[in-house]
Amino acid sequence: MNKTLIRLSTNEFESLVERAVDKRLEVWMTQLMDAFTSIDEPASELHPEFAESLRKAIKQSQAGEGMDLKSFRDEVEG
């Protein structure tokens, strides 16, 4: 059943936004890794730690591992 945004509960809306952001970040991270790994110049190689961090982030995103919006807010607000 389709709902308009005004009819979504706060939790439904946050979940919708969270999924959209997660998907967009996954696509962006994949594009970023593709761009970095397609560079032929040796001087432009990624630092191994950075490359590993990107790979880990992509795997976590694909596995659905991440932080929910409330936990993120709590962490940011301290």
Every domain of the chain and the residues it spans: 10-77
Give 15-59 pLDDT, tens digit per residue: 888 888 888 888 888 888 777 777 655 555 667 887 788 788 778
- Report the b/e string of 19-55 with b at 16+ CB within 10 A: eeebeeebeebeeebeeeeeeeeeeeeeeeeeeeebe
Q: Distance between CA 19 and CA 78 in Å, rounded?
A: 24
Q: Are 66 and 21 in contact (CB under 8 A)?
A: no
- The reported pTM is 0.45
